[in-house]
Structure 1
Amino acid sequence: MPDLHVGLLYGGQSAEHDVSILSAKNVRAALGDRHRVTAIYITRDGRWLVGDSARLGADTEAGTAATFTPEGGASTVSASGLGALGLDVVFPVLHGHNGEDGTIQGFLHTLGIPFVGPDVLASAACMDKVVAKRILEAAGIPGTPYAVVHAHGERPSFETLTQRLTPPLFVKPANSGSSVGITRVTEAGALSEAFDVAFRYDKTVLVEQGVSGREIEVAVLGNERPEASVPGEIVLTSEYYDYDSKYEDPDASRMEVPADLHDDVAERIREVAVEAYAALGCEGLSRVDFFVTGGGDVLVNEINTIPGFTARSMYPVMWEQTGRPFPDVVDELIRLALARHERDRQRKTTR
């Protein structure tokens, strides 16, 4: 691949701002000096800062931010001015709202700039857990039992929910990630506060039945012919895989990659991961999360279109254990972005 001008887009106005910075640091390291990299940092208040050869993660703004080397400096740019930077491709490392939900993807698409990861529709569908579940159901791909609650509607009681769903219940915003806003509910008295927490992050809340099983994840990579990595397992020492378990408490969970699964089960999980990826129209990359029950059921939990790339994230580790070092994966993601852009550019737009 020739030397390219890569825009590394991170930060963002989302509850996962800090995770985005950690992910961007790892992506920047994986890009190395093979390409020219311009860091584009979106502050919590929506300002866009641009600089060459960024050093990420200095404590200069509300706990986390970006600093730039003296020779590059740091300058503010309007979002609409992004096209003037002469970027060959953008690598978005924006988790959650305003980054993983199709908004940035639509903006880059409108500017005509190639970008890593799924396009607008797949990003939006996967970000909305309710929409994703309904699409997977229509495709015949099994998932966890659930109920949907809207902010403008009546909140169901614990008794009503448990007529359909077996506790523990997990109450979560339909549009969020990194386990932000999720509460585990085992008794009626905790349900109201769980709804209050979830509705802080979205107008739609998903209530899922807790599944007794193993938490298995698979990394998927590709456009028209996607491939799946070896599965990995999240082994918990905490009650469930919450934000602290993922990013802040190294003793709350551990990764086992590859997961200790029978070959037939591992292959089935990889097949379903690719099926779910295709059903939702994903391209570039995604991480597909599963529950595998003691009875052998393989249930899709959710799909993350911009999974974490931190030192504690499964996506790069699973590819590493599949035989693809992270720098190779990053280069392949850029290649896939450029190939899709060229394919779509050939699409006829006149009668």
Structure 2
Amino acid sequence: MNQKASNPIQVLLICGGGSSEHEVSLRTADFIERELQKCGDLQLTRVTMSAEGQLHDGSGKLRELRSDRLLYSSNGSAQPVDYVIPAIHGYPGETGDLQSQLEILGLPYYGCGPEASKLCFNKVTTKLWLSALGIDNTPYRFLCANTAEETAKARDALKRWGAIFIKASNQGSSVGCYKVTEEATLAQVLDKAFRLSPYVLVEKCLTVRELEVAAYTYKGELVITPPGEVCAPADTFYSYEEKYAENSRAETHVVAKDLSDAQLGWIYEASKRAFIGLQLKDLSRIDFFLTDEGDIYLNEVNTFPGMTPISMFPKMLQNQGHDFNVYLADLIRSAVNQTA
């Protein structure tokens, strides 16, 4: 069944959320809203989720999405919802929680499903799955508790590797990520990481080039772009602040230079294997490390990448010759027609 032009598709854009990435989620929603305003057959309603999970419209009025697939206002009026865009970085948008709710409501939505979102948001389970899929990833240990027995693994890794990254396993965009080079600071850093997550990842610190691939579905076909590159300042790693600050010193290149055909081929195959094996949907940004020795590791899979003015995903999609509004509108129309 085709949606009639006189009956536009009702799209609900949910942004904000209760994570430390609330403000970045608003900026991603700004981009998506601007793009979808170019599509005449889509009617967009935007709401912001508070830390308590409540939805508020632009006037601050409370809105509620119910099982009848209607968005209710506090005065009892309601409007239909055909499709949802959960533009929330971190919890509950990238953790699978919001997607599970939308599945229960029977609403089609943009992005990966609950299981894929949950797997990829947890850095430990991501690595276990990558290894199971035969995809190389950085040397690591993981800690399941902030106890002497477990933290001894981190001290051993620091002695063996010289420098390590301590990462809270259930955080996004470099939140809870710390570089450690001296044992004197290790306990304090572990305390910080465990306050953010029940599991902590310990990774070998490598000198690398940071490469990023956009993988997405365009008109029914999986597209994997050539890798772009993020060049962080030499005196720091690509932290949350460097990713999103307006005065960020990081440089980004939509197409990475000086990669061999073999390297490009491996990145493409690893990206495809990850997208299919992890059962991703609609979009992802897949990040790689290229070491000075020529080794390539898949670092992480981001199931809802940032879409701010400096974000790589929309830039790489555009460089591929695809308009973002055409890409997203096609996904929306296809999903709504399938459920009509």
For the aligned pair, the TM-score class normalised by the smaller chain equals: 0.7 to 0.9
Match of 2:107 among 90, 98, 113: 113
Tell me which residue corresponds to 1:289: 287
Paired position in structure 2 for 1:21: 26
RMSD: 2.2
Residue pair 1:319, 1:326 contacting (<8 A) in 2 also: yes
Tell me if structure 2 keeps the 8 A contact 1:319–1:329: no
Q: Against the structure 1 CA distance between its residues 159 and 42, is the aligned structure 2 distance closer, same or farther, given a 3 Å change threshold?
A: closer
Query: Which runs of at least 4 in structure 1 moved beyond 3 Å after TM superposition?
Result: 78-82, 152-155, 335-339
Q: Does 1:233 align with 2:238?
A: no
Query: Which residue of 1 is the match for residue 93 of structure 2?
Result: 99
Structure 1 equivalent of residue 242 of structure 2: 245
Unaligned runs of 5+ in 1: 51-67, 346-351
Matched, 1:83 2:90: no
| Partner Cα separation in structure 2 for residue 156 and residue 336 of structure 1 | 49
Deviation at 1:139, TM superposition (A): 1.1
1:83-128 per-residue CA deviation (whole Å, 9 max, x = no partner) reads 2131111011111121111100000000000001111110110011
Tell me how far apart the structure 2 counterparts of residues 249 and 36 of structure 1 sit (CA, whole Å).
31
* 3-state secondary structure, aligned to 1:180: coil
Q: Secondary structure at the match of 1:259?
A: coil
For residues 336 and 169 of structure 1, the distance between their equivalents in structure 2, rounded to whole angstroms, comes to 45
Secondary structure of the equivalent of 1:24? helix
Give the alignment partner of residue 167 of structure 1, picking from 162, 166, 170.
162
Please, which runs of 5 or more residues in structure 2 have no aligned partner?
Answer: 72-79
Q: Tell me what 2:44 maps to.
A: 37
Change (3 A) 1:105 1:20: same
Provide the rounded CA distance (Å) in 1 between the counterparts of 2:51 and 2:301: 25
Q: TM-score, normalised by structure 2?
A: 0.88
Deviation at 1:337?
A: 4.4
Q: Which residue of 1 is the match for residue 174 of structure 2?
A: 179
Query: C-alpha deviations, 1:43-90, integer Å up to 9, x for none?
Result: 23332113xxxxxxxxxxxxxxxxx3xxxx442123546821311110
**Match of residue 126 from structure 1:** 120
Q: Rate the CA distance shift 1:190–1:329 in 2: closer, same or farther, 3 A.
A: farther
Deviation at 1:186, TM superposition (A): 0.6
- Secondary structure in 2 matching 1:239: coil
In structure 1, which of residues 169, 190, 194 is the aligned counterpart of residue 185 of structure 2? 190
Name the structure 1 match of 2:16: 11
2:75 corresponds in structure 1 to none
Following TM superposition, by how much is the alpha carbon of 1:321 offset from its aligned partner in structure 2, in angstroms?
1.0
Whole-Å separation in 2 of the counterparts to 1:288 and 1:23: 18
Amino acid at match of 1:129: K
- 2:111–2:281 CA contact under 8 A, matched in 1: yes
Q: Among 148, 156, 160, which residue is 2:151 paired with? A: 156
Deviates more, 1:215-224 or 1:191-200: 215-224
SS of match in other structure, 1:162: helix
Cα displacement (A) at 1:222: 2.2
8 Å CA contact 1:8, 1:24 repeated in 2 = yes
2-side partners of 1:115 and 1:262: how far apart?
A: 38
Distance 1:126 1:211, change over 3 A: same
Tell me the amino acid that sits aligned with residue 311 of structure 1.
P
* TM score, norm. by length of structure 1: 0.85
Corresponding residue of 2:132: 138
Give the whole-Å Cα distance in 2 for the aligned partners of 1:299 and 1:293. Answer: 8
- Given that 1:117 and 1:306 are in contact with CA atoms closer than 8 Å, whether structure 2 keeps it comes out as yes
Q: Please say if residues 158 and 183 of structure 2, whose CA atoms lie closer than 8 Å, have aligned partners that are also in contact.
A: no
Contact 2:286 2:300 survives alignment (8 Å): yes
CA distance in structure 2 between the partners assigned to 1:168 and 1:30 by the alignment: 43
* Structure 1 match to 2:76: none
Letter in 1 for 2:24: V
One-letter amino acid of the structure 1 residue matched with residue 232 of structure 2: L
| Identity rate, percent | 34
Q: How many residues are aligned here?
A: 320
Task: Between 116-125 and 323-332, report the one with greater CA deviation.
Answer: 323-332
